[in-house]
Amino acid sequence: MNNNSPKFERNRFMQKAAITACSILLASTLIAQDDPDQLNTVLDIDALYTPLVSKPIHGDTAVKLLNELETKHYSSIDINDNFSSTVFDSFIDALDGSKLYFLKEDIDQLSAYRYTLDNSLQDGSVEPGFEIYNLYYKRILERMIYSVDRVENHIGEMDFTIDEAIEIDREDAPYAASRADLDELWRLRIKNSVLSLRLTGDDEDEIRDKLSKRYRNQLSQISKTNDKDIFQTYMATIATAVDPHTSYFSPRDSENFNMGLSLSLQGIGAQLTTDEEYTKVAELIKGGPAERGNELKAGDRIVSIGQGVDGELQDVVGMRLDDVVAQIRGEKGTVVRLNVIPVDAVGESNATVVSITRDTVKLEDQSAKKEVIELSYNGDSYKIGIIDLPTFYFDFEAASRGDDDYKSSTRDVHALLDELKEEDVDAVVVDLRNNGGGSLSEANQLVGLFIETGATVQIRYSGLRNGFTRSFGDNDPEVAYNGPLAVLVNRTSASASEIFAGAIQDYQRGIVLGGQTFGKGTVQEIIPMDYGQVKLTRSKFYRISGESTQHRGVIPDIAFPDLYDAYEDIGESSLDGALPWDTVRPVEYRPYHAIQALLPELQQRYEERAEASPDFIYLRDQIERTRVMRQREQLSLNEQKVKEEREQNRRTEFDAENMRRLLKGLPLNEWVEDDDEEEDDTLIANSDTPATEEADEDAVEEEGDPLLLESGRILADFIALNSNRVSSVSPANTSQGR
């Protein structure tokens, strides 16, 4: 298929939209949480547990899935013992990655399947997957029964004055050697849940009631597990064992997946995923209600959900993801309240309630926007144009109808560049932070706004032997903007964003600033099957320099400190089975500027500013505080110690913010003592506190995004250095474009 054809673009953009949307707002109908069946669930494993069995269609589909993986995946896939071992480990990890359900003897027993899953699948049998899941199903029911008994009958026995602790991350921990060892793990986990609620001010009866409902709700939800759930989980594990972006969708999940293609979704605009017993916010959609509200963050974990401005918060810990999504989904204009554990917190005692008004998430909400920031630097004034591009969008439906005013990121950015030129800006920053990608054609054309003609990306396809590689690019000689340019990226800039940033960097057309990008350099295709569908990796992106964007991403010319630096589990390199970085032959291209020659001086000037910048000092300290917090291995269960630690963290954050304000000459905040009647992190701006005389007056005026402001200063340095360089050589030796 021609990758520049409307059909190709429509398919690619629909896939991107669906990948973003499929787990956002679409789900099956939720069983009401106050269902009396949940509260009266019989706590008897023999009454609750019935092994589930597969159906003939499951085995037939498994054979067809293996065939799709072997014949159509970008990489050469061998279904052998190594593949079987990978699937076994991935399946066990998907079910019990925290080692909280299986016993060591269970794993020893199940290990008989380690090197035989491939044979069973090729024979059309998924029974080993069902047997593994059935044992997990039994163990998780046992744990819920234990939990209900513990909170209903033993809360009064808990002593919060002794020094006990709970492990935060059990990924590398051993499996429990005995049921008694597993009981001890869960005793501490439940004690931590009780302590978290104590710290919010709940009394013993309230805690017992809340946790009893939580665990009985989980027990009721788990007891509704069916053969479709097991089959979906097993097949999805088999698919992702090949690479993290290949996946299988059962008919039910396929329907939800495909419904998301409209890009007109009523809800909050947040992609959700599962993180142990919690539902976690994986990503916020640009332009969506959650992103606009600026309270919900990627990485936040949802504890409970309330409907309307005063509806009771219903616990959703341990609930199925699709049922949680169904609670969040709702009519435009209605309010949903989420009680979440912030991404940088570790326990429910730090949970906070976020209110979001549901709205329709439309393509138009993700349109490019511009602003102009003015800054004083080295005695001169500069006007820096900022173009914020949330995604690479293209309204293929309007374009196919022949509409003259169809939406496209390239057309919108072109118009914004024209406006910025009329405003006589000195330089432009294209802000691609948190831009997860979109249309390949739009990325190509957007590069074309800043260069004359030339290749922008190479795509290597799977096929006979080593496949084949094609280059794509811009054939329009028009240049919309030829002035100083910077591209600002971060760890969540992915796919099409990496193509654009990589091309601008390779051509030395602009300076790439910020953080290392995500590293998603693969392309997926949706392939229908008789029973469900598979999303399969079919090709791979490469820069014009020949370097892959896969795994490694784009490394900025000048790196800024970024909160994502504190998170090691973000980016392609953190995903199990991610395809490796490699290279292909570069295409011919010629750089526009000598940016590489100027980088040492630009870097030195930046470092001198960053070293003394109040905002950058604060940001680096914040990154380090977050990193230290995330590296903790245990949580104390001593109530007094937890209170003291929480107060110390609050004070540290308060002092850091006040130091930033002091150095910038801004009014300081007043400390408010924390007590049970006050919410945490209460800061009051004291307008009577004068700015320090030593503070930089420009800094007081420029209380904006510090990374955008620094991008402007780097561009100001580039203008000055480039002007000096051009004036120092003869016109015959200058390189003005190509």
Active site residues: 495, 506, 520
Helix (H), strand (E) at residue 63: helix 56-72
Note whether 721 and 602 are within 8 A (CB).
yes
Q: How many residues does the chain have?
A: 738
DSSP letter (8 states) at residue 247: E
Note whether 238 and 121 are within 8 A (CB).
yes
Using DSSP, state whether 562 is helix, strand or coil: coil
**Contacting residues for 606 by C-beta, under 8 A, at least 6 apart:** 558, 710, 713, 714, 717
Beta strands 427-431 and 485-489 are: parallel
Nearest to 49, CA basis, from 115, 181, 142: 142
Note whether 392 and 446 are within 8 A (CB).
yes
Helix (H), strand (E) at residue 236: helix 227-240
Cα distances from 570 to residues 214, 268, 298, 375, in angstroms, run: 30, 23, 11, 33
CB atoms within 10 A of CB 583: 11
Note whether 427 and 715 are within 8 A (CB).
yes
d(CA 626, CA 653): 11
Q: Mind giving me the DSSP string for 614-636?
A: HHHHHHHHHHHHHHHHHT--EEE
Note whether 675 and 643 are within 8 A (CB).
no
d(CA 201, CA 44): 33
Nearest to 194, CA basis, from 169, 175, 209, 211: 211
Instruction: Give me the phi and psi of 220, to 5 degrees please.
Output: -65, -40
Beta strands 454-461 and 335-341 are: unpaired
Beta strands 380-388 and 427-431 are: parallel
Nearest to 237, CA basis, from 340, 85, 447, 358: 85
d(CA 59, CA 105): 28
Note whether 556 and 433 are within 8 A (CB).
no
Beta strands 558-559 and 511-514 are: parallel
Across-strand partners of 339? 304, 353
d(CA 441, CA 13): 10
Note whether 287 and 24 are within 8 A (CB).
no
d(CA 636, CA 639): 8
d(CA 91, CA 93): 5
Tell me how far the alpha carbon of residue 99 is from its chain's centroid.
24
Using DSSP, state whether 557 is helix, strand or coil: coil
Helices (H) and strands (E) in the chain, counts: 23, 23
Q: Compute the radius of gyration of the chain from its Cα atoms.
A: 28
Instruction: Give me the phi and psi of 454, to 5 degrees please.
Output: 150, 165
CB atoms within 10 A of CB 224: 10
Task: Return the amino acid letter for 292.
Answer: R
